């Protein structure tokens, strides 16, 4: 049989079946498609792929609650829906439901078929964490009346961002670096619970505190209550007039009554900055009556790097990271590693900044595995596609792949027709349920054109 004799009728039949199935639904998922998509969903309420398109279109239209609800329904029908899981996470994120967003992203990572997809999810989780911290700060401020009456967490300490008081702008980032160093050191003590530096910084940013406000004990106490910290450490770095030394002042404030618990002061040359920080730290701990084990004292004596310029570059990275400039942060951490390749904290933060920078440049559709044109692509709502080069078979979640590698994301009458086309070559009982047999081989039965083989591509979909 010459293939060209049956291809045209088959295509005609497929189009007719698609039309009978309720009309064409656009493959794109823009807000402009919403009326058509919602109407189609009413006619086909159990269509998981269509539900996913409706959810994505609602997300694009900023109807996040509707997007969440529809996508939850789609995932009830098909948990392997990669795009659905990603967009559900995005919808939860916009609704401020960060715990649920994190669960959705983990589910997406679990059904991802490539390391690239899993990497993109991991990158996005870095941004999610920063967004969580900002929202937590806003929530704390909104609930200040309630939080001010709650007892703080026992032995919890928040280190307020230190200020830089001086005229050398190139040294300003050191205040951020010293804050990080103080948090790192105190976190080594088993008797204390340290709040993350980023959490405290987020609160400071939300409160929009002035420089003077950041050294006021009453302000420190207020911030401590908002963070539910028992004590707050605040201080400043300044230049000693007429000398090349730096002065470091720190104060421990009781978050309940704003009383000063301990103070520490020291001055030394820039190259002795780490020794200066240790000097002030041990004075504070002594006045706080926190005993140290030999192991803790040894751990506190460790320095992050022996290169002061590396630490200054690291501090610039922290400063850039706090303002959300991850490209500049990565550059700062890279500069630190150029001077000291063994600077472990610089390595860790550079990796996180790289991931955040990539995530910021990754559109939602790319994160969800959708095609640039807005189509469902290889990771559409029917499930996750077979790896590149797959020929036949059924991907996870019920999606069907024709032999030419095109994904039909919605099993339909058209899919059944394609199964029938491929099913003539073997007995029905020889295949697993839901699988598709190979399409028939192309046969050249035209003796007048030896060696000529016609390749026919049949794509049957219900949009």
Residue 141 lies in a domain: no
Residue 261 lies in a domain: yes
Least-confidence region, from 73-77, 298-302, 381-385, 418-422: 418-422
Listed residue (238, 230, 229) closest to 200, CA to CA? 229
Q: Dmax of the chain from CA atoms? A: 101
Residue 305 lies in a domain: no
Using CA of residue 280, residue 291, residue 179, residue 149, what is the dihedral sign?
A: negative
Q: Do 155 and 277 lie in a common domain?
A: yes
**What is the spatial distance between Cα 356 and Cα 321, in angstroms, rounded to a whole number?**
10
**What is the spatial distance between Cα 234 and Cα 335, in angstroms, rounded to a whole number?**
28
pLDDT of 354 strictly over 80 = yes
Q: Which of 236, 253, 288 is the last residue of a domain?
A: 288
Residue 336 lies in a domain: no
**What is the spatial distance between Cα 33 and Cα 279, in angstroms, rounded to a whole number?**
65
Q: What is the mean pLDDT of residues 139-145?
A: 87
CATH number, domain with residue 262: 3.40.50.10070
Q: Which of 234, 258, 288 is the last residue of a domain?
A: 288
Q: What is the mean pLDDT of residues 360-383?
A: 69
Q: State the pLDDT confidence band at 217, using cuts at 50, 70 and 90.
A: confident
Average pLDDT, whole number, for the chain? Answer: 77
Residue 46 lies in a domain: no
What values do phi and psi take at 389, rounded to 5? 90, 0
**The overall pTM is greater than 0.85:** no
Q: Do 284 and 396 lie in a common domain?
A: no
Q: Do 281 and 386 lie in a common domain?
A: no
Residue 267 lies in a domain: yes
Q: Do 156 and 281 lie in a common domain?
A: yes
Residue 13 lies in a domain: yes
Q: Which of 266, 288, 310 is the last residue of a domain?
A: 288
Instruction: Say if residues 103 and 72 touch (Cβ distance below 8 Å).
Output: no
For residue 298, CA distances in Å to 185, 205, 266, 284, 306 come to 11, 34, 21, 17, 17
Higher pLDDT, 321 or 391: 321
Listed residue (461, 459, 439, 460) closest to 3, CA to CA? 439
- Residue 223 is predicted with a pLDDT of 85
- Residue indicated by tokens 């919605």: 410
The token pair that represents 368 in the structure block: 């969800």
Where does 361-424 have alpha helices with state H?
364-367, 413-423
- Residue 367 is predicted with a pLDDT of 95
Which domain does 227 fall in, by range?
150-288
Angle subtended at Cα 102 by Cα 100 and Cα 104, rounded to the nearest 5 degrees: 70
Listed residue (154, 264, 140, 248) closest to 200, CA to CA? 140
Instruction: Say if residues 239 and 259 touch (Cβ distance below 8 Å).
Output: no
Q: Got the DSSP string for 235-276?
A: EEEEEPTTSSEEEEEEEEEETTT--EEEEEEEEEEGGGHHHH
Q: Do 158 and 282 lie in a common domain?
A: yes
Q: Do 278 and 177 lie in a common domain?
A: yes
Q: Do 284 and 413 lie in a common domain?
A: no
How many domains, the chain? 2
**What is the spatial distance between Cα 423 and Cα 356, in angstroms, rounded to a whole number?**
49
Q: Do 269 and 394 lie in a common domain?
A: no
The token pair that represents 322 in the structure block: 């706090």
**What is the spatial distance between Cα 199 and Cα 134, in angstroms, rounded to a whole number?**
8
Least-confidence region, from 69-78, 198-207, 397-406: 397-406
**What is the spatial distance between Cα 417 and Cα 87, in angstroms, rounded to a whole number?**
32
Residue 330 lies in a domain: no
């Amino acid at each position: 049989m010459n293939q060209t004799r049956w291809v045209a009728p088959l295509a005609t039949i497929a189009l007719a079946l698609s039309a009978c199935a309720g009309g064409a639904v656009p493959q794109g998922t823009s807000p402009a498609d919403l009326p058509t998509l919602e109407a189609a969903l009413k006619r086909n309420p159990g269509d998981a792929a269509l539900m996913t398109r409706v959810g994505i279109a609602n997300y694009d239209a900023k109807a996040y609650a509707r997007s969440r609800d529809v996508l939850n329904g789609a995932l009830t029908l098909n948990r392997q829906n990669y795009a659905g899981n990603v967009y559900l996470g995005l919808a939860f994120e916009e609704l401020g439901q960060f715990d649920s967003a994190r669960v959705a992203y983990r589910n997406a990572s679990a059904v991802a078929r490539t390391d690239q997809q899993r990497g993109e999810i991991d990158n996005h989780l870095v941004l999610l964490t920063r967004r969580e911290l900002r929202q937590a700060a806003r929530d704390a401020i909104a609930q200040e009346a309630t939080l001010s009456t709650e007892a703080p967490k026992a032995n919890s300490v928040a280190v307020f961002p230190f200020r830089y008081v001086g005229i050398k702008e190139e040294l300003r980032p050191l205040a951020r670096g010293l804050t990080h160093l103080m948090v790192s050191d105190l976190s080594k003590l088993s008797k204390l619970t340290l709040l993350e530096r980023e959490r405290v910084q987020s609160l400071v940013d939300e409160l929009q505190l002035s420089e003077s406000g950041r050294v006021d004990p009453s302000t420190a106490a207020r911030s401590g209550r908002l963070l539910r910290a028992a004590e707050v450490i605040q201080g400043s770095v300044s230049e000693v007039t007429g000398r090349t030394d730096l002065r470091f002042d720190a104060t421990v404030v009781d978050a309940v009554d704003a009383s000063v618990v301990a103070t520490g002061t020291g001055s030394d040359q820039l190259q002795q900055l780490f020794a200066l920080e240790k000097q002030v730290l041990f004075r504070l701990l002594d006045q706080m009556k926190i005993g140290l084990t030999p192991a803790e004292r040894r751990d506190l004596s460790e320095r992050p790097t022996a290169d002061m310029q590396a630490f200054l570059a690291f501090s610039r990275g922290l400063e850039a990271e706090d303002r959300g400039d991850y490209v500049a942060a990565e550059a700062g951490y890279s500069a630190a590693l150029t001077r000291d390749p063994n600077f472990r904290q610089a390595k860790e933060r550079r990796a996180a900044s790289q991931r955040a920078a990539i995530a910021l440049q990754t559109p939602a559709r790319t994160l969800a595995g959708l095609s640039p044109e807005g189509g469902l692509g290889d990771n559409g709502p029917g499930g996750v596609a077979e790896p590149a080069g797959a020929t036949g078979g059924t991907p996870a979640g019920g999606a069907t792949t024709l032999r030419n590698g095109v994904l039909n994301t919605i099993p339909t009458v058209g899919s059944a027709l394609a199964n029938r086309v491929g099913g003539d070559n073997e007995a029905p009982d020889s295949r697993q349920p839901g699988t598709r047999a190979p399409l028939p081989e192309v046969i050249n039965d035209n003796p007048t054109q030896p060696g000529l083989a016609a390749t026919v591509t049949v794509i049957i979909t219900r949009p």
